[in-house]
Structure 1
Amino acid sequence: MQSLLDPAILFFALGVFAGLVRSNLEMPAAISKFLSIYLLMALGLKGGFALAASGLTPSVASSLGLAVLLAVVVPLVGYVLLRRVVSGFNAAAVAATYGSVSAVTFVTATQYLDSQHIAYGGYMAAAMALMESPAIILAVMLANALRQRQATASTGMVPAHRGQPVMAMASAGAGAPGGHSMGHGSAVAAASPAPNLSVGKILHESFTDGTQLLLLGAMVIGLVTGDEGKAAMQPFSGDLFKGMLCLFLLDMGLNTARSLPAVRHQSPWLLAYAVVGPLVHASLALVLAWWLQVPAGDATLLMVLAASASYIAVPAVVRYAIPEAQPSLYVSLSLGVTFPLNIVLGIPLYTQVVQWAWVG
C-alpha cells in the first residue's frame, strides 16, 4: 500500500479522477509537449552520465542485449496469439503497440526504484531506446506480407513497391495520438492505397524521429561530459525531475480517462490480452534476466519495459503505415488498460518479484 502513496502515482490518479468526473482541468498542449521533451532530455542525460561512470561492462552488454531480444520476441509472440482473434492487420498493429515501450512507464519505474533505494544502471535508458523500433519494423513487414498475399490471391500479381515515407504522413496525426478523428482504419484504406514500406525507410524514420533523436542525443552528451556535465545539469535534470514527472502523469491521467469509454467496446479476448499479455512479457524478461544474472535493478526495468505498451510513437507510425488496422483498438487498449495497470500495480509488483528472486 505504501508504494501507492508515491506523489507521481497519486497525481496520475488525480488526473484519472478529474477526467472521470468531467472536470475542466486541462493541461495546455504546449505545456504537455514541453514536459515530454524535458523528460526525454533528462532521461537521456542521466543514462549518459551513468554510462560514462560505468563503461561498457559485461553486465551492461547483457542488459542491452536482452532488451533487443525482448523487443523482437514479444511482438512476434503477440502477433501469433492475436492473429487467432482479430484480423492480420489489427494483430500486427496491436503486437507492435505491445512490443514497443512506454517512456513514461519507464521514467515512473526509475523514480519508484529511487524511492525504494534500489540501484539500477542509468544506461537502461539506452535499452529503452533500442526497444522502441523493432516492433514497428516487424509490424510493417508483416502488414506488407499480408498485402502481398491478398493481392496474389485476388489478381495473381504482387503489388509494386511504393516506399512512401512514414513520419511525413504521421506528422499530420501525431499531435493527437489518442484521438479518433481519422475513424476506422478500413475507411482510411479505402480512401488511399495502403503503403508498402521498405525496411530502410522505416529504420531511417524511426531513428531520426524527434523523440528518439533527443533521447539518444542527450545520452551522448551525458556520456561525453561525464561527471562535470552531471554536476552542471543537476538542478535541471535532477532537482526538477520529480515535479515535472508529476505534472506529466497528471496529464496522462486525464488522457487515460478520455480513452476509457472506447475500452468498453473491445472484445473480451483483447481486454484479456491487455491485462495478461504484459504479465507474460514481464515474466519472460524475469526468466531471461535471472538466467543471464542481470543486476536486480536492471532486471526490474527490463520487466517494466517488456510489460509496457506504446501509446504515442507506435500509433503515430502505425496509423498510416497500416491503415487497415483500427486506431481506436490499439490506442484504447494500451492507454486505457495497460498503462494505468502498470503505473499503479505493475511497477511495485515487478519490483517485489525481482527482490524476492534476487535477494530472497
Structure 2
Amino acid sequence: MDFLSFFLMDFVKQLQSPTLGFLIGGMIIAALGSQLQIPESICKIIVFMLLTKIGLTGGIGIRKSNLTEMVLPAAFAVMIGILVVFIARYTLAKLPKVKTVDAIATGGLFGAVSGSTMAAALTLLEEQGIKYEAWAGALYPFMDIPALVTAIVVANIYLNKKKLRAAAYSTMQESFDKQKDPAGNRVKIWPIIQESLQGPALSAMLLGVALGLFTKPESVYQSFYDPLFRGLLSILMLVMGMEAWSRIGELRKVAQWYVVYSVVAPLLHGFIAFGLGMIAHYTTGFSLGGVVILSVIASSSSDISGPPTLRAGIPSANPSAYIGASTAIGTPVAIGLAIPLFIGLAQTLGGG
C-alpha cells in the first residue's frame, strides 16, 4: 500500500509542474475560443534554441564520458524505433476502417521523437533532482531515424505488393522480393536518412552535439542557453496545447480507432522502453533518469521533422490520420501522462 500511495502522490505532483501547466493552459484557452496567436517564426526560433541546448548538453556529456556506456541504450533506442512501426502495422492496421498505409505512417510518426516532449522531460527531471546522463538526449536520432526509415520502407513494400496483386503481374513474386516501389524503382534508404538528418529538428540537435563534442561552448551554454531553457519551453508548451486542441477536429475525418491508439500507444511504447532501460540500468549502470528519458522519447511522437518526411516518403497516406492522432492526442498523453508516470515509477523504484 505504501508503494502505491507514494507512486500516486508523486504522480499528482508531476501533473502540477509549470511545464505541464502551460500545456493544459494552452488547450483550455483554445477550447474557450481565444484568439491568442504566437507567430510561427518565433516558434521555430524557440524550437531551434531548445534542441540546440539539448544537443550541446549531449555533446559536452559525450566528450566527458565513456562512450561504451552509450552503446546499449543506443541499441535499445534503435530497436524501439523499429518495433513501434511494426506494432502499428499489426495492430492499428487490423482495426475496422483503418487503412494499412495510414497505420504504417502513424506508427512511423509515433516511433519518431518529439524534441519538445524530450525537453519537457529533461526539465521535470531537473526539477525533481533526478540525475541522468548528460548524453541521454543524444539518443534522439537513434530512435527517430530508424522509425521513419522503417515506416517508409514497410509502406512502400506494402503498396508494391498490393499493386502487383491487383495487376496480376506474372513476375509479382520476383518484384516483391526485390522490394521495388510502385514505380518500379528500388526503395532507397539513404535519401530517407538524408531527409531526416536535414530536417530542422535533427539538424539543430546534431549541430549542438557537434559543437559540444568538438568545441568548448560551456561559457555561452551557461550564460545563454541554460538560463533561457525553461522559459522558452513554457511558451512552446502553451503553443503545443493550442495546436493540440485545433487538431482534434482532424480526427473526425478518420476512423475513431486512432483515438484509442493515440491514448494506448504512447504508454505501451514507454513501458517497453522502460523495461529495456531497466535492463541497461542493471547491466551497465544506466541511470534511472536515463531510463525515464528513453521511455519518454519512446512515448513521444515527432511534431517537427516527422510529418514532412512522411509526407514525402508515403504521399498516399492521409496526414489527417497520423498528424491528427499525434498532435491532438499522442503529444498531450506523452507530456501530461507518460512523463509524470515514468518519473514517478523511477522514483518509486529508486526509493524516492
- Calculate the TM-score normalised by the size of structure 2: 0.87
Deviation at 1:200, TM superposition (A): 1.9
Q: Which runs of 5+ in 2 are unaligned?
A: 1-11
Q: Give the counterpart of 1:14 among 19, 25, 30.
A: 25
1:94 aligns with 2:106: yes
Structure 1 residue identity aligned to 2:137 = A
Q: Give the counterpart of 1:74 among 68, 75, 84.
A: 84
Q: Report 1:239-254 matches (<5 A).
A: 239-254=227-242
1:296 aligns with 2:284: no
Secondary structure at 1:212 match in 2: helix
Deviation at 1:264, TM superposition (A): 4.4
Structure 1 residue identity aligned to 2:29 = A
In angstroms, what is the RMSD of aligned CA positions?
A: 2.4
Match in the other structure for 1:322:
314
Match in the other structure for 1:104:
116
Distance 1:80 1:41, change over 3 A: same
Match in the other structure for 1:354:
346
Match in the other structure for 2:130:
118
1:213 aligns with 2:203: yes
Give yes or no for contact 1:39–1:244 (8 Å, CA) kept in 2. Answer: yes
Q: Report 1:1-360 matches (<5 A).
A: 1-58=12-69, 60-85=70-95, 86-155=98-167, 156=169, 197-226=187-216, 229-293=217-281, 294-359=286-351
Provide the C-alpha distance between the structure 1 equivalents of 2:184 and 2:164, rounded to a whole number of angstroms.
Answer: 15
Provide the C-alpha distance between the structure 2 equivalents of 1:287 and 1:5, rounded to a whole number of angstroms.
Answer: 26
Match in the other structure for 1:167:
none
Provide the C-alpha distance between the structure 1 equivalents of 2:29 and 2:275, rounded to a whole number of angstroms.
Answer: 39
Provide the C-alpha distance between the structure 1 equivalents of 2:80 and 2:350, rounded to a whole number of angstroms.
Answer: 20
Structure 2 residue identity aligned to 1:2 = K
Structure 1 residue identity aligned to 2:228 = L
Deviation at 1:55, TM superposition (A): 3.1
Distance 1:194 1:258, change over 3 A: farther
Deviation at 1:196, TM superposition (A): 7.0
Detail structure 1 runs of 4+ shifted over 4 Å in the superposition.
157-161, 193-197
Provide the C-alpha distance between the structure 1 equivalents of 2:62 and 2:123, rounded to a whole number of angstroms.
Answer: 18
Structure 1 residue identity aligned to 2:14 = S
Cα deviation per residue 1:148-197 (whole Å; 9 max; x = unaligned)? 21232233166899x99xxxxxxxxxxxxxxxxxxxxxxxx9xxx89975
Structure 1 residue identity aligned to 2:310 = V
Structure 2 residue identity aligned to 1:211 = A
Distance 1:49 1:79, change over 3 A: same
Cα deviation per residue 1:286-323 (whole Å; 9 max; x = unaligned)? 21122222310000111101111123322112123212
Give yes or no for contact 1:71–1:99 (8 Å, CA) kept in 2. Answer: yes
Provide the C-alpha distance between the structure 1 equivalents of 2:184 and 2:18, rounded to a whole number of angstroms.
Answer: 45
Match in the other structure for 1:183:
none
Deviation at 1:38, TM superposition (A): 1.0
Structure 2 residue identity aligned to 1:66 = F
Structure 1 residue identity aligned to 2:117 = T
Structure 2 residue identity aligned to 1:207 = L
Match in the other structure for 1:186:
none
Deviation at 1:95, TM superposition (A): 1.0
Q: Which runs of 5+ in 1 are unaligned?
A: 165-188
Provide the C-alpha distance between the structure 1 equivalents of 2:342 and 2:155, rounded to a whole number of angstroms.
Answer: 33
Provide the C-alpha distance between the structure 1 equivalents of 2:91 and 2:296, rounded to a whole number of angstroms.
Answer: 21
Distance 1:341 1:194, change over 3 A: farther
Greater shift in the superposed pair: 118-127 or 349-358 = 349-358
Distance 1:16 1:241, change over 3 A: same
- Calculate the TM-score normalised by the size of structure 1: 0.85
Provide the C-alpha distance between the structure 2 equivalents of 1:83 and 1:309, rounded to a whole number of angstroms.
Answer: 18
Provide the C-alpha distance between the structure 2 equivalents of 1:65 and 1:100, rounded to a whole number of angstroms.
Answer: 15
